[in-house]
Amino acid sequence: MKIVILERNSVGTDVSVDCISDFGDVTVYRNTVTAEEVKERVRDADIVIANKSPLNEETLKDAPDVKLICEFATGYDNCDLAYCKKRGIKVTNVVDYSTAMVAQHTFTLALALSQKLIHYDNYVKSGEYSAQDRFSNFDIPFYELEGKTWGIVGMGNIGRRVAKMAEAFGCKVIFHSITGKSACSAYPRVDKDTLLRESDYLSLHCPLSDLSRNWIDGEALKKMKKTAILINVARGPVVNNKDLYEALEAGEIQAAGLDVVEKEPLELTNPLSGIKDSSRLIITPHLAWASVEARTRCVEGAYLNIQAFLRGEDRNVVNP
């Protein structure tokens, strides 16, 4: 069995992928970006492990032996599922491996912004605290989560975990379903305008689709509270970055915490890159999913998917 790992670095070099060699000869590439690279590297493969590399007719047509594609991820936008199904290639993903970490990062961003932690840390480290004549400093107001309304878009595994954490902080939880198909009955489901109008904290956990693209735009931001904090740990294009920049500059919302942006890595032409005030904006480099534990679970999930496939069983197959 010939196995090719196209994007070994996508799970981090501190996490071992040696277990995959249990199933055959493994060829490992640090990263694979272009279609030409993919075509050449999968030519003789039976199993392909990838994350973002394009896997479609163009890149797979000259690879007659490919039988299984394993994503080192939950998403599979890089795969042409219809073509793979026509070819008899099964595509699998790894589910729920990063739920705990993404939920944790959601609150890391929310708490850092609401409590102005970076400002106060810088205040102490600058020497200003040591130079003052009183024991405390709270020159920028900060607020409690207790009693606030936490709005959620996308009530899947991550959204539900965030809802429970918000409740533990004493928040009222409301949510909106973009598709209108959510079966969640544990929390009040509201329309978009109500969600925007009532949320003190609004966190996004929805997949990217035609329905969710630019879901937070200039019109939506104008409907939010001026004291609201927006958290996006979903997909970058769910939030119109130019409109968010203008809203932050105009004070239409208090702050935003982003782990994702419209185009990654963040381009210097993105206006959000010009905001240096971390009391208004914190951007992390798409790492909310990437704790050591989560990345380890991701590799283990791919391992189990291959193991099941070789036993003739379907596990996490997304194109049955």
DSSP string computed for 248-301: HHHTSSSEEEES--SSSSPPTTSGGGG---TTTEEE--S-TT--HHHHHHHHHH
Identified catalytic residue from 105, 160, 161, 235: 235
- Residue tagged active-site, from 128, 249, 264, 267: 264
Triad 198, 199, 202: Cα angle to 5°: 155
Q: Would you call 71 a catalytic residue per the annotation?
A: no
105 among known catalytic residues? no
Tokens 């996006």 belong to residue: 232
d(CA 118, CA 243): 24
Catalytic residue, from 87, 189, 286, 315: name it.
Answer: 286
Nearest to 284 by CA among 268, 267, 262, 261: 261
Cα torsion 115, 116, 119, 125 to 10°: value is: 20
299, 19 contact by CB (below 8 A): yes
Q: Are 241 and 261 in contact (CB under 8 A)?
A: yes
Identify whether 235 is a catalytic site residue. yes
Pick from 227, 222, 203: which is nearest to 142 by CA? 227
Q: Kindly list the catalytic residues.
A: 235, 264, 286
